[in-house]
Structures are given as C-alpha cells and as structure tokens.
Structure 1
Amino acid sequence: MRKWLDLTGKLENGMWNYGEPFPDIAIEQVASVKTHGYVGHAFRLHSLAGTYLETANHLFADREKLSDVGLERMVLRAWVAQLPDKASLEPIRADELEAAVGALLEPGDALLIATGWDAHWNLPDYIESCPFFEAGAMDWIVENDVSLLGVDIPSIEDPRKTSGEMPLLTHYYAKDRLLAAPLVRLREAGSGPWTLAILPLNIPDVCAAPCRAILYETSK
C-alpha cells in the first residue's frame, strides 16, 4: 500500500502574495459551456506564486535555472523536522534541527521543516510576522549537505530586515541546492522517511516556478 500527502498550497484569487514587483495572483473564467460550448480559465501567476521550487539562479545570474535541474533531483528521500509550533517572528535554531533529524539525515537528502506556520496561510501576518532562520540553523543545513530544503514559512530571512540583502539564502545557494517553499500539511507527515516528488511547471529560462509537492511512502 502507498500513502500520499500533498504539500501544495492552493492558488486562488485573493491569496497572500509577496508584493511588488510580483503581480497579484488572478484566476479568471474566460469561457463557459453556455457561451462557448466548453469551460476555460486564464491564470496570472509569477515565479514565486503559492508553493514553488527555486534554484540558486534566484540570486546568482550565472547559476543553473529551473530547466537545468534533472528530474532525479526532484524525486528524493526526505526527512521532516517536526519543530514546536513557532510564534510570530520566532527564530528556528540549529539545536532544534539536530534534535529532530540529526541522527537520520544523510548527505543529499531533502530536509523539510515543519513549524506549524502554514496555519497562517492567507492571514494578514503570514509574510510580515513569519518565523525565520538563525544563521546557525542555516550553517547546520549547509554542513549536513541538504540538497533540497523545504519549509512551511514564506521566507527564511528575518522579515523585519529592510536592506534587501539575503545572507542566509546566499549561503544556502553557494552550491546549487534547491528550495521548496512555502509548503503546507507537514504536521501530518511525522518524521519520515518519505519520498518527495516536487515537479514545477516546465518553463524555460526561469529561476523558479509554481510546483506540485507530494510525499509518498511504500509499505511492504
């Protein structure tokens, strides 16, 4: 038997968005059975709409784009760090990650971090007050050679920063790692192991795109 868990947030009108320069997500019905004989919709999205997969090209112009990433890097073993529910602007620490998955994680694995913040999806504080990583937590992730990091928060940087610099993400992308964010329903996943399949829209020459993120396990 195979167990499946969908980690993908819904794309819908009026949902949260990162703001300028990204346009609001819009989904519009443009055809109906009554008028056209069939139903059709138009979508306005962007690279960081809803749940997305991102490469280092987001910050480094000369790094790999999403179309350069092989499928074998999008289907891999994943562990879930089940952290205590994080409050607004509460940091994620290295010792929490070590306690949750330090004995399980192997180089090249995917690491998914559950903070419970997906409960705030579409609430006013979702972006402005989200939990964030301490520098030591990102050091721990890099040192453990995580190949794909998935989080249920919309940003790993402190949202109160106004400089526009992203030192933690820059450190993570020093090698061509992948980032999946923001995920939902990680609280239902336990610790794993799972197989993660994360498949973005097939759009050439972009650093990121909306994706479908699925966990599955096979029991013998």
Structure 2
Amino acid sequence: MKVYDLTGAIESGMWGYGDPFPPVRIEPIATIEKDGFSSHSFQMHSLAGTYVENGNHLLAGTESIDQVPVDRFIKTAWVAQLSEKEALEPVSAEELEAAVGDKIKPGDALLVSTGWDKNWNKPGYVENNPFFLPEAMDWVVEKKISILGTDLTHIQDPRDDDGSLLRNLYMNDGLLIAPVVNLRKVDGIGPFTLVALPLLIPGVNSTPCRVVLMDSFNANS
C-alpha cells in the first residue's frame, strides 16, 4: 500500500497568520543528560501548520470539532492536479471540473493541488496565496464534497477575505483541511483514502492534524 504524508511540519519560527495568532514555539523542557528523560513544550494555536477546521470557526451555535463523528475525517478522496499557480492567481470552477468532475461523488473529499506548497515558510507564502473564485466554491458545494483540502493558506483572495467562501462550504456541512503539502508527489487522481484526524480538544473549531492519503479501501462505505 502506498501512503503519502500531506502534513506540513510544525516548528518554531514557522509561517503564521499574524495577530491574533501567537508565534509557534517548540522548546525542550527536559533532557536525558539533565533529567533522565526528554520532553518538550508546545506553544501553538489551532491554525498552526496543517489543520482541519469545521463550520464552528465562522458559524455561531454550531458543533465544535470534537463533536464531529470521527468517521467524517476518513473519506474516499480525489486529487485535482491544477496547473502551477503563481502569486494571487485564481482557481476556477472550470479547472476543478476538468481535473476530477466526472469522477468525484457526493460525500467524497477533494484535494486541490496548485504547487503553492513550494513556498512553505518563504516570504509571501500567506500574503500572496492563490485563491478560489466564488464560482469554484460554488462548484465544490454543488458536488456535495465532504472535505475540501488544499495547499493554500487562504481559500479566498487574501487581499479581501471576508470569510464568505468558507461560510458557503460550512453552511453546506463541509470540512476544510489546509494547507497541505506534497500533493504534487501523488501518483494519479484517485480514488484514495484520506485520513485527517483532529486532536481531541473539547470546545475548539480547528486543530493541527496529521494528514495521510493512501490507496483506497472505500472509506465512504
């Protein structure tokens, strides 16, 4: 079985979204030489690295992510390999349809590869992010995609992100995984099985997660 790790590393000094999110700090708090064991302190936030998020991020009164059944995070998935996107270049519905439109079924997950992960931790990675056009999110919703994963830090144009595209996804019971890495290494478009489990932290709407993609075993059955 072939397994792809789509998770970006969480490390001190990594990229971030700016205020109000604090910088990520990973520090040793004990060493084998001094304490007889090794351990570390993690200081991070819910959108550190590759994370999974649900509608409670933007929609008041909805379930927190720990209340989402665990099987919602294990899905049959397809990979849309789009042309290499440059800074602030949009993703269209036509591109998504051409990549996977005749394959994906209601309830499946969609992973959108633009090649933007090559800029992980580089200047402009967040600010110059490519983005979905509203028509592209409409396409995702119309296809009844259960999980949208991308290698982008923003779904919407980062110059004018009012959250409307994500609200569209969340109001239709979708989940988001972002930003993933290594999608360009995936062989083929699917079907695969996606596993992206959030940390079990009550009351929150997103957590860092480990995202893996593997040969499919019909995860939606």
TM-score class, shorter-chain normalisation, is over 0.9
Unaligned runs of 5+ in 2: none
> What is the alpha-carbon distance in structure 2 between the residues aligned to residue 217 and residue 140 of structure 1?
26
After superposing on structure 2, the runs of 4+ consecutive aligned residues of structure 1 that deviate more than 6 Å are none
5 Å matches for 1:31-70? 31-70=30-69
- Which of 191, 215, 218 does residue 217 from structure 1 map onto? 215
- State TM-score, norm by structure 2: 0.96
**Is the CA contact (8 Å cut-off) linking 1:63 and 1:176 kept in structure 2?**
no
Determine if the alignment matches structure 1 residue 174 to structure 2 residue 171. Answer: yes
> What is the alpha-carbon distance in structure 1 between the residues aligned to residue 45 and residue 109 of structure 2?
25
5 Å matches for 1:107-126? 107-126=106-125
Question: Which position in structure 2 is the counterpart of 1:198?
Answer: 196
Determine if the alignment matches structure 1 residue 77 to structure 2 residue 76. Answer: yes
5 Å matches for 1:18-33? 18-33=17-32
Determine if the alignment matches structure 1 residue 183 to structure 2 residue 172. Answer: no
> What is the alpha-carbon distance in structure 1 between the residues aligned to residue 70 and residue 215 of structure 2?
18
Unaligned runs of 5+ in 1: none
Question: By how many angstroms is 1:108 displaced?
Answer: 0.3
Aligned residues: 216
Question: Which position in structure 1 is the counterpart of 2:102?
Answer: 103
> What is the alpha-carbon distance in structure 1 between the residues aligned to residue 62 and residue 109 of structure 2?
20
Sequence identity percentage: 51
Question: By how many angstroms is 1:218 displaced?
Answer: 5.7
SS in 2 for 1:100: helix
Q: Aligned Cα RMSD in Å?
A: 1.1
One-letter code aligned to 1:105: I
> What is the alpha-carbon distance in structure 1 between the residues aligned to residue 13 and residue 44 of structure 2?
12
Question: Which position in structure 2 is the counterpart of 1:150?
Answer: 149
**Is the CA contact (8 Å cut-off) linking 1:131 and 1:158 kept in structure 2?**
yes
- State TM-score, norm by structure 1: 0.96
> What is the alpha-carbon distance in structure 2 between the residues aligned to residue 107 and residue 8 of structure 1?
25
> What is the alpha-carbon distance in structure 2 between the residues aligned to residue 71 and residue 167 of structure 1?
26
